[in-house]
Structure 1
Amino acid sequence: MSITRIGDALDARADITPTERLILVQLARLADNDGMAFTSVGNLAQRANVSPSTVTRSVRRLAGLHLIQRIRNRNVAGVFSAYRVTLDSDGTEDGPA
């Protein structure tokens, strides 16, 4: 967890909804030092007290704004998702990677 990354998520561009910001903060909270958050849509839905479809829509929008990147990998149990939080230290996005 990075307190700086959580602060950056709270200060991220103002044109995201409160739910999108909450998902972004949850991802920042779960992120390691490299900005990688290894979690599932179900886990994010539970943490944010929203439906999985709301998380999916929010993640899709945050990725479209280049605030996160979604990385899908197959593992032995099926599909495993990771999210890279791409905020820099001043609360703006890094841009496409």
Structure 2
Amino acid sequence: MEINELKEWLRIDGNDEDATLTGLISSSEILIKQSTGVDPEDVEADTNAQDLYKLLQKIIIADLYENRLGASKINPIIVSLYAQLEAYKLKKE
């Protein structure tokens, strides 16, 4: 995911948060991989899967960015998107 795409999603102007956002992008990839087994490279050939992956990244990052002290509950949308992305990978195999 490109940082400018993420900044638009989060409605962030300027570059003050770039290091934080870059770290969150990397962290979201790790979280997705650990939860679904899907790497960004796994969805490169399928634009629908890419869109799903990016949406999941955006929601994870927004949640982490806005709740820096940690959320008490897992966002149900994240759980649903994990399941959909995991199903994509299983179907592909």
TM-score by length of 1: 0.30
> What is the TM-score of this pair, normalised by structure 2?
0.30
Greater CA radius of gyration, 1 or 2?
2
More strand by share: 1
